[in-house]
Amino acid sequence: MIKLIVGLGNPGRQYEKTRHNAGFLFVDALAQDCGSTFTQSPRFFGDLAECKVGSAKLLLLKPATFMNRSGQSVGALLKYYKLQPDQLLVVHDELDFNPGVVKLKKDGGHAGHNGLRDIIAHVGTKDFYRLRLGIGRPPAGKVVADFVLSSPSRQEADLLDAAIKTGLGFVPQLVAGEIDTVMNKINT
């Protein structure tokens, strides 16, 4: 059962609507749905919110350490609350999926995603869940870093919003521990 959802992104107004902040957009939408607000938490190097899903308490985290150092924030929170990696869901942008595609997986490498790389290093395992929100690949000749740190087109933003809504619809089942059911539905 999921007890912590971490949205990956970069802090600062200049990054708010970029492709790389898909994870922040997800947890922001979830907090809004729950009627929760994020507060700065220096202890966890990020912004933290608590959300009630059914009868369960769910923690939401937005690391304020920038993408490449997300593990510092995630590791500190897992240790403090004595959570296991398999109770963690990391929501992040995914280059390998077209905009609008959303998939859930457990385990696996970082596939070049520096946020995931740092979380794996700090947590000491890759045995956690990932909700991957498709942003597509940059056009030929465009640098990946420039692409992920830029805003999507209106059409791509609409598709990302749809993917976020799809993912949000599965949160109650994830919190209830129905992860295999969610994987079967969302990945087909």
Mind telling me the catalytic residues? 20
Overall size of the chain counted in residues: 188
Cα 52–chain centre separation: 18
Which residues touch 120 (CB under 8 Å, ≥6 apart)? 71, 109, 110, 126
What backbone torsions phi and psi does residue 105 show, to the nearest 5 degrees? -150, 165
Q: Which of 131, 128, 60, 68 is nearest to 94 (CA)?
A: 131
Region at 45 (left for phi over 0; alpha for psi -120 to 50; beta for the rest):
left
Report the number of secondary-structure helices (H) and strands (E) in the chain. 7, 7
Cβ(94)–Cβ(132) below 8 Å: yes
From first CA to last CA, the distance across the chain in angstroms is: 21
